[in-house]
Amino acid sequence: MTASLKFLIGSIALTGAVAYLIYAGVQQGGVYYFKIDEFLAEQESYRGEAVRVAGRVTVGSVTRKMTPTGEELKFQIGDFVSDGEAKDTVKVHFVGVTPDMFKAEGGSDVIVEGKFDGAVIHAQSVMTSCPSKYEAEAQQQAAGGVPSGS
């Protein structure tokens, strides 16, 4: 076998391996991203799928329990309404490290990522967004006002 033929075979094998790794990474890391109202409208079609859903934790829906693997959280998320109460919600189950800005009473804006079983999102991660006070301060500064905390 000549050196150029060996090089060609090696190049094809390497290109195939890299292509497979890229494909596998995209398949494993690809998740549907929704705001809660989009998810609720089509939730049955995402049964068994990995999803990432943004919503607000419903006030009064949070239960916490310590386990050997971390804190177990069960809560519901609904639409981004001002008081944290929503009529349409989806249940979330999470075991792990609770984000610092997660409010035990509810009302936190969160993004949950996990697998939806048709009734509950079994979350591998829960991320909180910045409190809305920062948004209000940014709007005041854009309008030429002075933030209330200064």
CA geometry: angle at 114 spanning 112 and 117, to 5°? Answer: 120
Please tell me whether residues 60 and 122 are part of one structural domain.
Answer: yes
pLDDT at 23 (0 to 100) = 84
Phi/psi-derived region of residue 107, left when phi > 0, alpha when psi is between -120 and 50, beta in every other case: left
Range of the domain at 76: 31-137
pLDDT at 9 (0 to 100) = 93
Please tell me whether residues 73 and 119 are part of one structural domain.
Answer: yes
Domain count, the chain: 2
Please tell me whether residues 22 and 95 are part of one structural domain.
Answer: no
Place of tokens 């919503």: 55
- Higher-confidence residue of 28 and 59: namely 59
- What b/e sequence results for 120-135 when a residue is b if at least 16 CB atoms lie within 10 Å of its CB, and e otherwise? ebebeebebeeeeeee
In a domain, 1, yes or no: yes
* 125: β partners: 113
Please tell me whether residues 20 and 57 are part of one structural domain.
Answer: no
Nearest residue to 136 (alpha-carbon basis) of 127, 145, 124: 145
CA geometry: angle at 93 spanning 117 and 38, to 5°? Answer: 60
Please tell me whether residues 78 and 19 are part of one structural domain.
Answer: no
Please tell me whether residues 118 and 107 are part of one structural domain.
Answer: yes
- Report the amino acid identity of residue 56: R
Please tell me whether residues 88 and 100 are part of one structural domain.
Answer: yes
Please tell me whether residues 47 and 26 are part of one structural domain.
Answer: no
pLDDT at 150 (0 to 100) = 45
Please tell me whether residues 20 and 43 are part of one structural domain.
Answer: no
Task: Name the band, by pLDDT with cuts 50, 70 and 90, for residue 29.
Answer: low
pTM of the model: 0.67
The pLDDT tens digits of the residues spanning 111-144 come to 999 999 989 999 999 999 765 555 555 455 555 5
Please tell me whether residues 93 and 128 are part of one structural domain.
Answer: yes
- Calculate what percentage of the chain has a pLDDT beyond 90: 39
pLDDT at 49 (0 to 100) = 87
